[in-house]
Structure 1
Amino acid sequence: MSDTASAPAPRTTTAPSVRFGFMKFVVRDLDAMRSFYERAFGLVVAQTIDLPDIVELVLRRPGEETGFSLILYWNKDGRDVAVGTGHGPLGLYVRDVDAAFAHAVKEGAAPHREPWDTDAMRVAFVLDPEGRELELISMRAR
Structure 2
Amino acid sequence: MTDAATAPAAAALAGAPSVRFGFMKFVVRDLQGMADFYTRAFGLAVTQTIDLPDITELVLRRPGEEAGFSLILYWNKDGRPVEVGSGHGPLGLYLRDVDAAYAWAVSQGATPHRPPWDTEAMRVAFVLDPEGRELELISMRRP
Q: By the TM > 0.5 criterion, same fold?
A: yes
2:125 is aligned with 1:124: yes
Equivalent AA in structure 2 for residue 85 of structure 1: S
Q: What is the TM-score of this pair, normalised by structure 2?
A: 0.91
Task: Provide the C-alpha distance between the structure 1 equivalents of 2:136 and 2:51, rounded to a whole number of angstroms.
Answer: 29
Task: Provide the C-alpha distance between the structure 2 equivalents of 1:49 and 1:29, rounded to a whole number of angstroms.
Answer: 16
Task: Provide the C-alpha distance between the structure 2 equivalents of 1:118 and 1:26, rounded to a whole number of angstroms.
Answer: 32
CA deviation vs aligned residue, 1:59-102 (integer Å, no higher than 9, x gap): 00000010100000000000000000000000000000000000
- Partner of 1:33, secondary structure, is helix
How do residues 18-37 of structure 1 correspond to structure 2 at under 5 angstroms?
Answer: 18-37=19-38
Structure 2 counterpart of 1:56? 57
Task: Provide the C-alpha distance between the structure 1 equivalents of 2:116 and 2:8, rounded to a whole number of angstroms.
Answer: 46
* Cα distance, 1:103 vs structure 2: 0.2
Equivalent AA in structure 1 for residue 86 of structure 2: T
Structure 1 counterpart of 2:112? 111
Task: Provide the C-alpha distance between the structure 2 equivalents of 1:105 and 1:60, rounded to a whole number of angstroms.
Answer: 20
Task: Provide the C-alpha distance between the structure 2 equivalents of 1:97 and 1:34, rounded to a whole number of angstroms.
Answer: 21
Structure 1 counterpart of 2:86? 85
Task: Provide the C-alpha distance between the structure 1 equivalents of 2:127 and 2:73, rounded to a whole number of angstroms.
Answer: 18
Equivalent AA in structure 1 for residue 26 of structure 2: F
CA deviation vs aligned residue, 1:15-37 (integer Å, no higher than 9, x gap): 21110000000000001000000
Task: Provide the C-alpha distance between the structure 2 equivalents of 1:67 and 1:117, rounded to a whole number of angstroms.
Answer: 29
Task: Provide the C-alpha distance between the structure 1 equivalents of 2:61 and 2:37, rounded to a whole number of angstroms.
Answer: 14
Matched pairs, number: 134
- In our comparison, the structure showing a higher alpha carbon Rg is 1
2:135 is aligned with 1:141: no
- Partner of 1:124, secondary structure, is strand
Unaligned stretches of 5+ residues in structure 2: 1-6
Structure 2 counterpart of 1:6? none
Unaligned stretches of 5+ residues in structure 1: 1-8
Task: Provide the C-alpha distance between the structure 1 equivalents of 2:32 and 2:107, rounded to a whole number of angstroms.
Answer: 18
Report the structure, 1 or 2, having the larger helix content: 2
* Cα distance, 1:10 vs structure 2: 4.0
- Partner of 1:84, secondary structure, is coil
Supply the RMSD in Å over aligned alpha carbons. 1.2
* Cα distance, 1:118 vs structure 2: 0.2
- Partner of 2:79, secondary structure, is coil
Q: What is the TM-score of this pair, normalised by structure 1?
A: 0.92
